[in-house]
């Protein structure tokens, strides 16, 4: 299987203005294959959020290379990077980050519009994802009328709407109880494998780790353990 995501010797350093530098990530390297869900765990302040932001092209590294689908994105200009994110990357956030005034289906159609997907294709794809993720009876509902687990399922569907190569999930079970959280990660793992996406999930919930293909441990900005 090919590597969908490659981080090669990624470092991130911040200067505080007094010539003192803080290294948040220190020569981090990882490869994630198609169909693989990798969990990233570590203590607070270990660099997990910075790692995810850099891998997802939301933050530039100080040094090192990032390749997604064999395209090096580390030095892409801002406009090209925005286009790349819309076409190649899907995000799932801790609190689902759904737009409160859009229905379930409209959440997905908005992503399609931003990604330039034609209306008929977008309608078909949205309907398919909604059905596959068990949301058919909820497609006209607004986020306030959904359970936490349902909102995260919508977030998964939304992340898949642009058919990305890589999916990044930031603490997707943090607001859910154990049962609903497990259901969401099971669904994410299933979609990743069926659609042959690469996925990274930052999590503090060790009860979800058996659902992942690999677990990577970050501490003090370094990948210190791979299970």
**Residue pLDDT, tens place only, 95-109:** 778 999 999 999 999
Q: Is the pLDDT of residue 166 over 90?
A: yes
The residues, ordered by sequence, that sit 6+ positions from 99 with a Cβ below 8 Å of its Cβ are 107, 110, 143
Q: Are 46 and 12 in contact (CB under 8 A)?
A: no
Q: How far apart are CA 211 and CA 189, in angstroms?
A: 7
* Low-confidence winner among 13-17, 53-57, 136-140, 187-191 (lowest mean pLDDT): 13-17
> What average pLDDT does this structure show over 6-32?
87
Q: Are 84 and 57 in contact (CB under 8 A)?
A: yes
User: What percentage of the chain has pLDDT greater than the value 90?
Assistant: 49
Q: Is the pLDDT of residue 148 over 60?
A: yes
- The radius of gyration of the chain from alpha carbons, rounded to an integer in Å, stands at 17
Report the predicted TM-score, pTM, of the whole model to 2 decimal places. 0.88
Q: In what helix (H) or strand (E) does residue 218 lie, and over which residues does it extend? A: strand 214-219
What values do phi and psi take at 117, rounded to 5? -85, 135
Q: How far apart are CA 116 and CA 194, in angstroms?
A: 24
Q: Is the pLDDT of residue 226 over 90?
A: no
> What average pLDDT does this structure show over 155-183?
87
Q: Which of 162, 187, 175 shows the shortest CA–CA distance to 83?
A: 162
Query: What fold, for 3-226?
Result: Rossmann fold (3.40.50)
SS3 184: helix
In the chain, domain spans: 3-226
């Amino acid at each position: 299987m090919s590597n969908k995501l490659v981080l090669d010797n990624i470092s991130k350093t911040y200067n505080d203005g007094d010539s003192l530098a803080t290294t948040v990530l220190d020569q981090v390297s990882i490869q994630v294959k198609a169909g693989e869900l990798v969990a990233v765990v570590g203590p607070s302040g270990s660099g997990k959020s910075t790692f995810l932001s850099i891998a997802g092209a939301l933050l530039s590294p100080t040094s090192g290379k990032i390749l997604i689908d064999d395209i090096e994105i580390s030095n892409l200009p801002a406009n090209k990077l925005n286009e790349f994110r819309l076409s190649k990357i899907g995000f799932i956030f801790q609190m689902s980050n759904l737009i409160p005034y859009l229905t379930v289906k409209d959440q997905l159609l908005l992503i399609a519009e931003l990604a330039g997907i034609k209306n008929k294709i977008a309608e078909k794809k949205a309907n398919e994802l909604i059905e596959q993720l068990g949301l058919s009876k909820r497609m006209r509902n607004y986020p306030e009328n959904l359970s936490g687990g349902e909102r995260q399922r919508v977030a998964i569907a939304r992340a898949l709407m642009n058919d990305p190569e890589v999916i990044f999930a930031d603490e997707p079970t943090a607001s859910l109880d154990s049962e609903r959280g497990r259901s969401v990660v099971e669904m994410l793992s299933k979609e990743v494998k069926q659609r042959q996406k690469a996925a990274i999930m930052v999590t503090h919930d060790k009860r979800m780790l058996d659902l992942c293909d690999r677990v990577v441990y970050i501490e003090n900005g370094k990948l210190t353990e791979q299970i």
